[in-house]
């Protein structure tokens, strides 16, 4: 599962593009819902690795030029989160 609530606040259209990107790369069942994207393997004996999804999310953020605004972090129990970066103010 991928928590996308903060990404949805910034750009709701980006969610469809992310879902399409993950479907192409993972060849798995990817469903975007209100605040999350669920990834399920097509075959039960071939699980989708969390590290692989993390790398793909980072690649997508780079491709969509969102890398400066968002980052991918680990959440509880097989969950990844796309969080908005907190920019420190220059003094």
CB 28 within 8 A of CB 42: yes
Segment (H or E) for 88: none
**Residue found under tokens 């997508």:** 60
pLDDT at 49: 86
pTM of the prediction? 0.83
pLDDT at 59: 93
Per-domain boundaries in the chain: 2-84
Per-residue pLDDT tens for 13-59? 788 888 898 888 888 888 888 888 888 887 777 778 889 889 999 99
pLDDT at 46: 75
* Domain made up of 2-84: CATH architecture: 2-Layer Sandwich (3.30)
């Amino acid at each position: 599962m991928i928590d996308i609530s903060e990404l949805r606040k910034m750009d709701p259209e980006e969610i469809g593009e992310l879902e399409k990107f993950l479907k192409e790369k993972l060849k798995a069942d990817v469903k975007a819902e209100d605040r999350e994207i669920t990834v399920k393997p097509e075959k039960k004996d071939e699980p989708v690795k969390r590290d692989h999804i993390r790398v793909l999310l980072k690649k997508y953020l780079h491709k969509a030029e969102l890398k400066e605004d968002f980052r991918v972090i680990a959440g509880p129990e097989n969950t990844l989160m796309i969080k908005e970066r907190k920019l420190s103010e220059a003094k």
